Structure 1
């Protein structure tokens, strides 16, 4: 039996073969510590430098604005905590949204226990914030705005350029979590106007356990990992050369081929969406019709449980549910709740995300499998 069709690229991506090839020598041969002055250290130091330049090229920033981290979660922690404590003498208020990833939501919740105040902005039914409501939420004590670039569940893109312009007018730092958008849409930090931006390696065909925090040259953060002066003094700890090299290569691939890749994703996503819309009744697509990632399809089936659908298709399709049942109680994702998706729809929501290695044949087969599974479950419900 063949492996299930993988439609969970928003959870993680497989390594690109070129990434594996670039990493292999650093697993087998090049073991030197980048901080060492001898030839072994110099070789790995040069490799880290090249990777930093590759990331900077993709983001359109200076290499000295690229800080390597252990992943997107650490980058978000560093950005939000680091900025909050660095500017605590100026204020204690942070603005974010109700649909952020837990790597932002939980950081903000922890900061509330440390004396900071956080405003969680609502979103409309498409998952977008109102920039006017954001401006109205600003206080003299506001020191940071953190709004994700793209939502990981429904794919909705936020008006980052407008938010950045607002933040600049009010002299407030602006952070965006771009873990889901890198590699799917253009992410140019100069064009976006952000001060801080998060990248996660495993979301863009690179390795797990490595990420990046872009820090604009004008921004100062309070360090929270102390030790030697690695990463230009920002983050202590010997660089994970193997994975840094992999991330750099992944960024180089994206920089060279983003437009073609995005078109591929968009075509497959639309093909799957049309199959489901034409094959199933009582179905709705969640998120913004225009401002959304090209690879992400959040779809709800009225009156069904997503876990039942996933169980029915598990031999053929690997996807994600965004609602879970614990002790008989259905817990709907905070994203769908914020978008006010009714429970009878929300509990039957699947996230289907395509990627670089998805084929049209796989999409057609997956669509047929999902349609048949949904129809079978609907018949069973009516009996």
Structure 2
């Protein structure tokens, strides 16, 4: 070790970690490059990592600025610095695969075949789809490299990109599955305009369902020992996770207190009913909930379900009876520990019904109901000079 840093060897690892966690990411990486021992030490200083991987620096800036669900991690009392890292993908990483191009060219010996290949390459929808897939693969490759390096020391991790792949999920589960306390996977960036995307509508719906999420719950080839198990806070935006996958993830993280989901495919009646203790076993081998047993979501303190149109409140006329007030949302009753509940932008939930149910039954201190539409919402103000 460099003699100028010999004093570090005399300190406990906890103190070393505390000191290094106050450095900026540039200073930390520079310190780690000075020696082999210091490289190992610098990893201890990265406890809170927010990583944005996009094709342009501007996209990463916008993604960090426009995070839909505010960070409410359980490590917020940690004095260590949040390290924000922006990774810009090289241009070649989002171009067509060389093997794919070679395959078409080798199998296009005829004039007609070459014409078909040229037509396919000029098809904008095919090009967009291929470019998005390659972008996701390149993003997760960079994400995996960072997670394999710093995962052992991370307590808080956020990944801002297009989607999660098998490679990224496997790295996440294998490297920081037991120590991580806050996980944010943010794949909704409405103000990012990528050349390979058709329009901003790409961000409007949940990502397609994927087997990648199985690696976070210990299911899949070689995934038995890699899963998330001690999360206290989970934030998912535009995630293609299914209701069953999300249920398994919550079951494995019994310490979970903060759950924020935005534009997620998993937010459906079957999931929220289970969360509130109203679900019934829907697959063989699942143990039914016993009478008096707390609901799976009873330990949650914060639950935000935003821009999720898979859940709804039933339109029943209110007659002053408490059992009718929260019709369709009666699963909330099982979430006895809730201090904050949000239904922002949930189009199929009646704002008035939510307000009445909270006053009569739930009594949740912080409630964000869907915005109540008014006549003014459909009016456009016009300058008289241009009328």
What TM-score bracket applies, with the shorter chain setting the length?
under 0.3
Whichever structure has more strand as a proportion of its residues is 1
Larger Rg: 2
Higher relative contact order (CA 8 A, sep 6+): 1
Give the TM-score normalised by structure 1.
0.25
